[in-house]
């Protein structure tokens, strides 16, 4: 089943089409990679799908239901959650407070993975070691990225968009987050991963979508898109090997 269907969508900032007549699908229950050069429209895609910046043209279907033009909170209630490329976590709030807001207010008839119930459970599941009473202003980048994932997971999504959740992490941290993404996916959540490290894409993802200058450049298996001549020319470089 298709989790997300983007049908002829455009988002323009003045004369710049950050998303330019894009049609694509995200297959259900996959880990799908969304890749492309800097400025190709990946974060705008997340903003568009999650309702922050609605498309000026086109339709967005979540599990075959139209969500185009809905507010972000309505889209969250329908089962789609996202993280931010630059973590957007209020410094003065604690880890527990940040996770508790969606735990209390997001739709509750979907279950959290693995019998998780409390904010502390979600924090632990996401690999956060500091106590939930720790203010977010004291956290490392790596932990802020985990708080972003924990907050999104606490929305009980069935589609989760992760905007560069592994960027700037050590190899060990990135491997742990990869394990977490796999576990979230095995609990029945379709995950879209934006990532620039192609080894991670090849190891983690079953499907890949490539944007370039706001347009869809390729979609298919990671192997198909990473060997596509157009993708190599626009993004990876001709000498690219995995």
Residue ranges in contact with ligand ATP by CB under 6 A = 13, 16, 18, 36, 38-44, 85
Closest distance to ligand ATP from the beta carbon of 89 (Å): 18
Axis crossing angle, helix 95-105 with helix 141-153, rounded to the nearest 10: 20
CB atoms within 10 A of CB 206: 13
Closest distance to Mg ion from the beta carbon of 131 (Å): 31
Q: Are 126 and 187 in contact (CB under 8 A)?
A: no
Q: Which of 40, 43, 50, 68 binds Mg ion (CB under 5 A)?
A: 43
**Contacts of Mg ion in 48-107 (CB under 5 A):** 85
95 backbone dihedrals φ, ψ, rounded to 5°: -55, -45
213 backbone dihedrals φ, ψ, rounded to 5°: 50, 45
Structure token pair of residue 4: 């997300």
Closest distance to Mg ion from the beta carbon of 192 (Å): 13
Euclidean distance between the first and the last CA atom of the chain, given in angstroms as a whole number = 30
Closest distance to ligand ATP from the beta carbon of 40 (Å): 4
* Residue 41 binding: pick among ligand ATP, Mg ion, none (C-beta 5-8 Å cut-off by kind): ligand ATP
Nearer to ligand ATP, 155 or 210 (CB): 210
What is the C-alpha R_g of the chain? 17
* Residue 18 binding: pick among Mg ion, ligand ATP, none (C-beta 5-8 Å cut-off by kind): ligand ATP
Contact set with Mg ion (CB under 5 A): 42-43, 85
């Amino acid at each position: 089943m298709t989790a997300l269907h983007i049908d002829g969508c455009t988002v323009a900032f003045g004369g710049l089409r950050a998303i330019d007549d894009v049609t694509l699908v995200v297959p259900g229950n996959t880990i799908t990679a969304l890749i492309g050069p800097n400025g190709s429209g990946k974060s705008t895609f997340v903003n568009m799908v999650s309702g922050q910046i609605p498309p000026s043209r086109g339709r967005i279907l979540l599990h075959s239901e139209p969500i185009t033009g809905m507010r972000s909170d309505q889209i969250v209630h329908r089962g789609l959650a996202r993280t931010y490329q630059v973590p957007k976590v209020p410094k003065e709030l604690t880890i527990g407070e940040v996770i508790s807001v969606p735990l209390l207010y997001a739709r509750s008839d979907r279950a959290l993975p693995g019998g998780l119930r409390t904010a502390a459970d979600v924090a632990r599941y996401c690999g956060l070691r500091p106590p939930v009473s720790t203010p977010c202003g004291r956290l490392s980048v790596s932990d802020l990225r985990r708080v972003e994932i924990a907050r999104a997971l606490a929305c009980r999504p069935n589609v989760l968009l992760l905007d560069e959740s592994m960027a700037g992490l050590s190899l060990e941290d990135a491997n742990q987050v990869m394990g977490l993404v796999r576990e979230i996916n095995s609990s029945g959540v379709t995950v879209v991963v934006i990532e620039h490290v192609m080894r991670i894409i090849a190891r983690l993802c079953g499907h890949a979508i490539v944007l370039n200058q706001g347009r869809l450049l390729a979609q298919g298996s990671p192997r198909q898109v990473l060997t596509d001549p157009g993708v190599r020319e626009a993004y990876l470089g001709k000498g690219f090997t995995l």
